[in-house]
Structure 1
Amino acid sequence: MDYCLLLPFTLGISLLWPCFMATEISQTEEVKHPADSHLRVKRGWMWNQFFVPEEMNKTNYHIGQLRSDLDNGNNSFQYKLLGAGAGSIFVIDERTGDIFAVQKLDREERSLYTLRAQVIDSTTGRAVEPESEFVIRVSDINDNEPKFLDEPYEAIVPEMSPEGTLVIQVTANDADDPSSGNNARLLYSLLQGQPYFSIEPTTGIIRTSSKMDRELQDEYWVIIQAKDMLGQPGGLSGTTSVLIKLSDVNDNKPIFKESFYRLTVSEAAPTGTSIGKIMAYDNDIGENAEMDYSIEDDSQTFDIITNNETQEGIVILKKKVDFEHQNDYRIRANVKNRHVDKQLLKYHVEASSTLIKVQVEDEDEPPVFLLPYYLFEVFEGRPHGSFVGTVSATDPDQRNSPIRYSITRSKMFSIDDNGTIITTNALDREISAWYNLSITATEKYNVQQISAVPVYVQVLNINDHAPEFSEYYDTYVCENADPGQVIQTISAVDRDESIEDHHFYFNLSVEDTKNSSFIIIDNQELVLACKKSPSSTYLS
């Protein structure tokens, strides 16, 4: 160790061990002497700022020496140390003024001590020098490793971010003295995380150094080291871990799990029936994985809706199907993401598609009549068993079951297994001009399959009724009635039906024509008039 010699000053205290940079402080006082003596004597403490290294393991570490320039070495002066730490941490040799540290010091706990010094003449007990303060500073050694703040660290960065994207900044603190060399000057480095991330040595800012795909790896553990002494050998270091998670962007389109789906639907299924599910998968998550299904050929028979919870496509029946008309369908379904940013459209140019074959299952259906209703005509008066008409129903199913026919609650008609309707009683139009029948068709192989059709039978008229007088007439005539006088108007009716109005012709009986006193003067209706003046003639 190097030593230096501090030249003595008047009333000064010299630091001889070891040699440190020190601040000299001097005080000047005026000392009164006997009469007629006006000498000015420079008096005062001259003291140095002492330094002691922290973490010294020596029991008595010599810090320096307090000494008065009045001390001639005859051991008549006594040095005293006062203040916080005096006697416990620091001790002084009362004869020589040597100061020792008797405890190991930690600068990070306390970096300086302010003490007071006294010099007393042991023979008189009086102070030789005025009491003065001085400072002992604890000098720093590099005994603290850097410690990271705000642990644990976690950051999120979008996947596929360009190189140089800011991720997070980590900060470490070194408790050593920043003004003492490089003890607290830190450099950051990456121990784990290459080649995906980099760190700025002086700021601790972590940035991406390559593009990363969340679907390949969604999180990374990065280990950061902070080392003091500007990273030089012998410096202390501390480490921390940073969990970096990649957030999802919509860089994947949905793709069908299967290229071909086979579904079935009963021809008896009503519209709106769910007939099956299809599924596409998307490597993205959350909103980026939401998708919509559609049918490519705009089918009128089927539709696809999306289950928003499972992201499945549900194929539903849009229009009833008929096995006998078409027993299978082929439709092509597409799928695409619901939310796509413009800058990511390049990943969604062509939608994924799949083929769906729907097989229609045959169901045992009731017979089907060829017509929705039947209208037949038959003349009245025809004999029992006369032909009325024929109805026809068929089994729409493949097995084509034979059909049996029946008439519901009718005593006038019957039907055979061929669907031929005949009369069972004579028909009279004047009693009933129309008959409303219900014909039932039943499959022989499955009597539960039944259909019915309305049949309307119109009874046509024939001229089977003679005209009839509309009422019974009692006619009276006065005996003195004049010839040509109208005595009665008589009308007739016909129960047969006529397209036009009925026209009747009236005439008197042969006997009455020869001997009657009456004539018919208007043959469109019977008008009786006197032919001659009767004396007492009666007509009934």
Structure 2
Amino acid sequence: MAPAAPCLVLGLLVLSLCCEACKKVIFHVPSELEADTLVGRVDLKECLQYAEFISSSDGNFKVLEDGSVYTTSPLSLSAEKKTFTILLKDIQEQVEKKIHVDLVKEEKKVQSDTAQNYTIYYSASGPGIDQDPKGLFYIERETGNIFATRAVDREQYPSFQIICFATTPDGYSPEVPLVHTIRIEDDNDNAPYFTQDLFEFCVPENSRPGVVVGKVIAEDRDEPYTLHTTLKYRIVSQTPPITPAFSLHGDTGVISVLLPQLDRELVPSYTLLVEVRDMAGQPFGLCTTGTVVIKIEDTNDNAPSFKQLQYETRVEENRVSVEILRVSVVDLDEPGSPGSGAVYEIIRGNDDQAFEITTDKNTNEGILCVVKGLDYETAKQRVLVIGVNNEAPYVLAPHSQQLSQSTCSVTVHVLDVDEGPVFKPCLLRLDVKECEDIGTAIGRYVAEDPETGNSEGIRYRIPPGQCNWINIDDKSGEVRTVRVLDRDIGEMRRGQCNVTVLAIDRNGKTGTGTIQVCIVPGNKNFPRIIQTDYIMCRDRKPICLTAQDDDEAPYSAPFVYRITDRNLASMWKLTPHDDNSWYLSPKSDIPYGIYEIPVSVIDNGGKIGENTVRVNLCDCVTPTECDGRTRQLTGGNVTLGLWAILAMILGSLLLLLILITICGCCGAGVMHRQVTDDCANHNLIISNTEAPGEEVMDHNIIPLQSTCDQGGYGVKTGEQQTFEMVKGRGHTLESVKGGGHQTLGSVKEGGQQPMMDTCRYSYSEWHNFTHPRLGEKVHLCRQDEEQKHSEDYLLSYNYEGKGSLAGSVGCCSDQHEEEALDFLDQLEPKFRTLAETCIKR
């Protein structure tokens, strides 16, 4: 069974387009067509892109812009086919094209090709037949024609898909079942409708033309993208019926401002009756109307103005925080909005800030108040100029002039009132020097009668319960002290106190004033030296004396120091250091001892503080050695501490070791003694005793006369030093650690090659070489790494044994040149002290 062409039942059409544009279009239609029935749709743009003129050669048909073809009147197709032409013209391009349209009667049946050979019965199944909605269609058993039993709503059932069967009487099916689709074409049976019953929009007044107000929206339940749902909008009417104020876009439904000037004060709102019509607005299209309300929003385009330009009012003098007048304005802007809210200000006449004006939010009135008491004697009336603005800034309407501020004048009459005395000034500051005598006059405080302008008949008194440092004369107002003002006592600790004073006139009227008593710092304290006990060692480093004064400037620093004892002033001197401190130092080589020096300190105000400075001039290196005692050197008696004696002994041993080493260098090539291996261990003599040594005949220290050869020992003084004897032509004394690699020969020769084997050096050469080293070593012998006194720094080293590389150190006894000891006559005091220690008592 060949598939039949899709059919339309009860006026439903099937559109068929020819594939060749601008030649022929075929529409399959029923034989009977009613007026305004859609025949089909032609794609006009395939034939001509822009058609300015569209027409039909047959008056029974009309062609719309989208290519839809409608009947204009009822039509019956008597013949199998009817033909007409659609004419398209583009006048600007001078182009004209034609489209031929053929209307062909549609076939309404399903037919099998095997019907020529068999007796065929037709049947169908599916929605609309034996499924919901059941019974909508039926198929004629013998012919295959499909009929509708009632009207079909496309919006409910846009299409039906049924299965058609062709069978012989005995049930044989010569054809495969055919799936057949029945599409329900849309009929414009639904009018468009607005999505809201009422559209409400707002737009500011004075908006420019073209400003978008809002958009109305409508919908249509007919088939989308057809003329049945192509909607057009328009404004039917406007209320109030004045010049049209808005425009409505026909395709989009957008409402815009049309009137150049919208004035809320003239028309606060507009009501528009709008229409929407389908069929692209064609007269035969279905339509619906809706309502749009557009409210005009207020802008501040109207300035407030005073209802009255001049006002008068009265107020008693000295009244404060009292309302004296209310002023009102007229504003055409919307009440209660920022555009009508009044803001008042006093433009002139309020230089002393005695008046204040505010706005009553409920009535929009200006409230004028007095905030400072007025004086009738000063001014009997005041004239104020008041201006008004709005809370919101002004917005000028188009083609309008600049707005000007509205003003009014207010005359305030001041009423006279009998007043009490008035102090001028109301607060009097009196500065009083600290420690002034009782009864000192410090000032005068009087009041005046405002009516008379003088002080006659006024009495003064200080109420009880206040600062009782001063009193006031009841007639003259003179203020005197009744106590010595001291910044360190009671309420004066803050440097001031306030006293309330009463002034009473003949009528008993009272006025009050305040005296502020401020204490100016005075010179009541003596300067004093903070520390008065000191220890000065042999370096005689100056002592820094520092004074302190509890007074404030200018009665404190800078200080001047003086030694008041003439004898001590010849021995000690004072030199300035800064404003607070001076240096105290001895003038000459005065003897050791305890000195009590009277020192006077004079402050900047001339006040003198007497002090006694006790200085312990001690023969020490550090103040801790004195331990509160004084070291004195008198005649030939020397008193030394344990550590000083030990330091001197160690220094002498170090000096002797150097001498022995030099002597060994000189005679190493001449003499060489053989001793036992253990002899060296017995040549390190213990010398840590305070007893004097053996009696010597000469005041010089004699070098050791004998020692063991091949011995090895050393002295460790903070930093280890090794003295090495080198045999050969250049005998040198070399310091391995400390001070670099320097030899005695290099000292003598000024840094040149070591001198040849003479072994003779002058005292100055020895002094330059040994003095800096011995001084450092003697000092380090007395201290450990933490600058504390060491316990024992004289250490024995192990015996070197046989084969020592050192030469003989016993050769010094072979040196008999007396002139080599001349340097001992020029030893410094340190070593003279060592010599005296060795003298037999």
Provide the TM-score with structure 2 as the length reference: 0.37
After the TM superposition, which residues 378-417 of structure 1 pair with which residues of structure 2 at under 5 Å, given as runs? none
- Assess if the C-alpha contact under 8 Å between 2:235 and 2:273 holds in 1: yes
What secondary structure does 1:183 align onto? helix
Q: CA deviation at 1:12?
A: 5.5
2:437 corresponds in structure 1 to none
Deviation at 1:163, TM superposition (A): 1.5
Match of 2:209 in 1: 163
**In the alignment, structure 1 residue 329 sits paired with structure 2 residue 382:** yes
Partner SS state of residue 289, structure 1: coil
Task: Say whether the 8 Å CA contact 1:253–1:348 is kept in structure 2.
Answer: no
The 5 A counterparts of 1:170-319 are 170-180=216-226, 182-193=227-238, 195-210=244-259, 211-270=261-320, 272-285=321-334, 286-300=337-351, 302-307=354-359, 309-310=361-362, 311-317=364-370, 319=372
* Residues 1:129 and 2:175 are matched in the alignment: yes
Structure 1 SS opposite 2:338? helix
Q: CA–CA distance in 2 between the matches of 1:202 and 1:439?
A: 91
Instruction: Note if contact 1:116-1:134 (Cα within 8 Å) is conserved in structure 2.
Output: yes
* 2:201/2:294 contact within 8 Å kept: yes
Distance in 2 between residues matched to 1:231 and 1:452, nearest whole Å:
93
Q: Closer, same or farther in 2 for the Cα pair 1:189/1:265, shift >3 Å?
A: same
**CA offset digits 1:6-38 (Å, max 9, x no partner):** xxxx846476978954779xxxxxxxxxxxxxx
Change (3 A) 1:13 1:297: closer
State the Cα distance separating 1:287 from its structure 2 match.
3.2
1:350 aligns with 2:396: no
Helix, strand or coil for the counterpart of 2:339? helix
Q: Secondary structure at the match of 2:228?
A: coil
CA distance in 2: counterparts of 1:126 and 1:343, whole angstroms = 92
State the shift of 1:187 in Å: 0.7
Q: Is the 8 A contact 1:190 1:225 kept in 2?
A: yes
8 Å contact kept, 2:301–2:394 = no
CA-to-aligned-CA distance 1:406-441 (integer Å, 9 cap, x gap)? 9999xxxxxxxxxxxxxxxxxxxxxxxxxxxx9976
Question: What is the CA-CA distance between 1:237 and the residue it aligns to?
Answer: 1.5
- Give the letter for the 2:388 counterpart: V
In 2, distance between residues paired with 1:312 and 1:189?
47
Q: CA deviation at 1:81?
A: 1.1
CA distance in 2 between counterparts of 1:351 and 1:152 reads 42
Aligned-pair distance for 1:52?
13
Deviation at 1:151, TM superposition (A): 6.0
Q: Distance in 2 between matches of 1:96 and 1:321?
A: 118
User: Which residues of structure 1 form unaligned runs of 5+?
Assistant: 1-9, 25-47, 54-61, 373-392, 398-404, 410-437, 444-448, 454-540
Percent of paired sites with the same residue: 28
Relative contact order: is structure 1 or structure 2 higher (C-alpha 8 Å, sep ≥ 6)?
1
How many angstroms does 1:339 deviate by? Answer: 4.1
The amino acid across from 1:352 in the alignment is S
> In 1, are the aligned partners of 2:420 and 2:511 still within 8 Å (CA)?
no
Partners of 2:10 and 2:154 lie apart in 1 by 19
Contact (CA 8 Å) 1:23, 1:49: kept in 2 or not? no
Assess if the C-alpha contact under 8 Å between 2:8 and 2:30 holds in 1.
Answer: no
Could you say which residue in structure 2 is the equivalent of 1:66?
110
Partner Cα separation in structure 1 for residue 209 and residue 271 of structure 2:
18
Query: Relative to 1, partners in 2 of residues 1:281 and 1:407: Cα closer, same or farther, differing over 3 Å?
Result: closer
Change in 2 beyond 3 A, CA 1:297/1:77: same
| C-alpha distance in 2 between matches for 1:217 and 1:314 | 33
Deviation of residue 66 (structure 1)?
2.0
2:127 pairs, out of 70, 74, 84, with: 84
CA 1:186 to 1:134, structure 2 compared with 1: closer, same or farther past 3 Å?
same
Query: TM-score when scaled to structure 1?
Result: 0.55
- Structure 2 gaps of 5+ residues are 18-27, 34-105, 427-447, 462-501, 513-841
Q: CA separation in 2, counterparts of 1:113 and 1:140?
A: 14
In 2: Cα distance, 1:362 partner to 1:105 partner: 101
Contact 2:396 2:402 in 1 (8 A): no
What are the superposed Cα offsets for residues 262-298 of structure 1, whole Å, 9 maximum, x if unpaired?
322122413x433223233433353333443223334
In the other structure, the counterpart of 1:95 is: 142
Distance of aligned partners of 1:304 and 1:348 in 2 relative to their CA distance in 1, 3 Å threshold: farther
Query: Residues 264 and 275 of structure 1 are in contact (CA less than 8 Å); yes or no, is this contact kept in structure 2?
Result: yes
C-alpha distance in 2 between matches for 1:176 and 1:241: 23
Distance verdict in 2 for CA 1:263–1:348, change over 3 Å:
farther
Whether the 8 Å contact between 1:91 and 1:101 is mirrored in structure 2 is: yes
Asked if 2 retains the 8 angstrom alpha-carbon contact of 1:52 and 1:136, the reply is: no
Q: Any idea what SS the aligned residue of 1:246 has?
A: strand
Q: Which has the higher strand share?
A: 1
Shift of 1:338: 4.7
- In the TM superposition, what is the alpha-carbon distance from 1:80 to its structure 2 partner? 0.5
Contact 1:327–1:360 (8 Å) recurs in 2 = yes
- Whether contact under 8 Å (1:367, 1:442) holds in the other structure is no
Q: Is the 8 A contact 1:140 1:176 kept in 2?
A: yes
Assess, with a 3 A threshold, how the Cα gap between structure 1 residues 68 and 52 changes in structure 2: closer, same or farther. farther
SS in 1 for 2:115: coil
Q: Is the 8 A contact 1:328 1:358 kept in 2?
A: yes
After superposition, the Cα gap between the structure-2 partners of 1:332 and 1:109, relative to the gap in structure 1 and judged at 3 Å, is: same
In structure 2, how many angstroms separate the alpha carbons of the residues matched to 1:144 and 1:52?
A: 23
The residue correspondences of 1:31-50 to structure 2 (distance < 5 A) are none
What's 2:156 paired with?
109
SS in 2 for 1:217: coil
Aligned amino acid, residue 230 of structure 1: A
Deviation at 1:219, TM superposition (A): 2.6
* Shift, 1:118, TM fit: 0.8
Aligned-residue offset at 1:86 = 1.2
1:439–1:264 CA distance, 2 compared to 1 (3 A): closer
The residue correspondences of 1:363-382 to structure 2 (distance < 5 A) are 363=417, 365=419
Q: Secondary structure at the match of 1:71?
A: helix
1:525 is aligned to none
CA distance 1:12–1:118, change in 2 (3 Å): same
What is the rounded CA distance, in whole Å, between the counterparts of 1:106 and 1:98 in structure 2?
21
2:190 to 144, 156, 159: 144
The answer on whether the counterparts of 2:356 and 2:371 sit within 8 Å (CA) in structure 1 is: no
Distance change in 2, residues 1:86/1:229 (3 Å): same
RMSD: 4.6
1:22-33 to 2 correspondences below 5 Å? none
Counterparts of 2:413 and 2:459 in 1: how far apart (Å)?
38
